[in-house]
């Protein structure tokens, strides 16, 4: 949850660093106009910040504009990550299109998400709820993660895997249903870490 301007700035800088290894003004402008994933991250973080400011009615027009921008980008890029989702610093959206993350999911630092990924909710059974994802996790194209499961730090989830079980730190999971094939982790996949 972003509750101050300083925190908002830090989150945006950390997200920017994941894309181009720089955080200066020129890099921001370049990334904003040329990298769809960063542009979406910027408006998502801005909405989170503006939505947490209490009693600042003069900011209402800016907040409404920000909400409209994120909604526009949701349809333009096919990314649906609500601004209230708890995602720590360093979010990296590798390729846009068909990305869905449930608003109750909790995600750690340096999260890397690819196209076609769904992180959803299980509505029944022992795993009812949403995932808790650790730091430095990589999720490959087309992967699906469902239910109240824990994904450990530095885990890597392969393309088109369907994950419904807990993954320990540094696990590499592939297949349908996903199985752990090694403990080599996400090194080399979740790059440019903060």
| CA gap 175, 190 in Å, rounded | 20
CB atoms inside a 10 Å sphere around CB 28:
17
Any idea what the Cα angle at residue 52 is, between residues 47 and 57, rounded to 5°? 90
Sequence-distant (6+) residues with CB within 8 A of 49 are 2, 3, 4, 5, 7, 8
Residue 14 confidence (pLDDT) above 90: yes
86-182: CATH class:
mainly beta
138 forms beta bridges with: 112, 156
Quote the percentage of the chain above a pLDDT of 90.
84
Q: What is the pTM of this model?
A: 0.92
At residue 57 the predicted structure's pLDDT band, cuts being 50, 70 and 90, is confident
Mean of the pLDDT values across residues 67-76?
A: 96
Residue boundaries of the structural domains of the chain: 5-79, 86-182
């Amino acid at each position: 949850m972003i509750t101050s301007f300083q925190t908002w700035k830090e989150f945006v800088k950390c997200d920017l660093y994941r894309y181009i290894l720089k955080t200066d003004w020129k890099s921001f402008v370049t990334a904003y106009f040329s990298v769809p994933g960063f542009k979406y991250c910027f408006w998502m973080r801005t909405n989170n910040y503006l939505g947490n400011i209490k009693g600042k009615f003069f900011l209402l027009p800016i907040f409404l504009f920000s909400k409209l921008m994120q909604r526009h980008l949701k349809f333009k890029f096919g990314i649906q990550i609500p601004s209230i989702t708890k995602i720590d610093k360093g979010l990296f959206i590798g390729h846009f299109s068909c990305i869905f993350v449930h608003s109750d999911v909790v995600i750690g630092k340096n999260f890397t998400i690819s196209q076609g990924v769904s992180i959803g909710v299980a509505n029944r059974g022992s795993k009812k709820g949403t995932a808790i994802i650790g730091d430095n996790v990589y999720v490959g194209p087309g992967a699906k993660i469902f239910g109240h499961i824990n994904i450990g730090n530095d885990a890597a989830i392969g393309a088109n895997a369907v994950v419904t079980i807990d993954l320990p730190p540094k696990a590499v999971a592939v297949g349908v249903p996903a199985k752990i094939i090694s403990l080599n982790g996400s090194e080399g996949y979740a790059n440019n870490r903060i």
